[in-house]
Amino acid sequence: MSTSLERVKLQVADGTTMEACVARPKTENGPGLLVLQEAFGVNGHIRNVAQRYAALGFTAIAPELFHRSAPPGFEASYGDFASVQPHMSALTTEGMLADMRAAYEWLTTDAKISAERIAAVGYCMGGRCVYLANAELPLAAGIAYYGGGIAPALLDRAAKQHAPILMFWGGLDTHIPPEQYRAVADALTAAGADHEQVVFAKADHGFNCDERPSYNPGAAQQALALALEFLRVHGVLR
């Protein structure tokens, strides 16, 4: 299926303007997807993810969550933490939620996608964003890849999760040790949230990204298959 890639400007509730990358499928009347970035910006990998999902029929939007501190189109090389640290430090939970709401509303208004067919997927920082968004937005499903920083700071939001959430973790990930992702799972279970937890024992942080040394093609392929089935089971992908 052919896809197109474009940039759009969104007005955020706090008065700021945010750019986003949009990948559209050739056909209409498909589902919508928030694609939430890693710490390195809406880079080539995130754009590729959006296009891959667009090829499956999704209208995918990747908002630039660093827009308050970085210029439009900002992206950094993997491993260049010095470039991204100021923008990571400038992020606030309230700001990220406002940004994700603006992108969600673009899907419902501009792309005219109904709420029961809008999901979110995110990676690393974006995985944490999926968890946050699912506590505030009427998503139909959420998929979080190795979302750091959820435990212990955000465990109180487990009871607010609106939609089923699928979470992927790497067994070799030293950034998110087992006690942290187990704490997330325990908090969601205790809250009665609908969640699935998958640990790839031989995968490291960033295992889904084919531009990183930690790329694990087997884990990435299995995770995508599970993600798509998860979206089908919950009515997003038909």
Active site residue 129: no
pLDDT tens digits along 73-112: 999 999 999 999 999 999 999 999 999 999 999 999 999 9
The type of residue at 142 is G
At 35-44, the pLDDT tens digits run: 999 999 999 9
H or E segment to which residue 119 belongs: strand 118-123
Residue 173 is among the residues annotated as catalytic for this protein: yes
Per annotation, catalytic residue among 45, 99, 129, 173: 173
Residue pair 38/125 in contact (Cβ under 8 Å)? The answer is yes
Among residues 21, 45, 99, 124, the one annotated as catalytic is 124
Q: From CA 145, how far away is CA 133, in angstroms rounded?
A: 14
Task: Name the active-site residue from 45, 67, 87, 205.
Answer: 205
For 142-172, write each residue's pLDDT tens digit.
Answer: 999 999 999 999 999 999 999 999 999 999 9
Buried b (16+ CB within 10 A) or exposed e, 208-218: bbeebebbbee
3-class SS at 10?
A: strand
Closest-CA residue to 204 (of 194, 191, 213, 193): 213
Q: What domains appear along the chain, each with residue ranges and CATH number?
A: 3-233 (3.40.50.1820)
* Alpha-helical segments (H) within 91-200: 93-109, 125-136, 178-191
Q: Are 147 and 127 in contact (CB under 8 A)?
A: yes
| 124 tagged catalytic | yes
Q: Both tokens of residue 165?
A: 């959430």
pTM value is 0.97
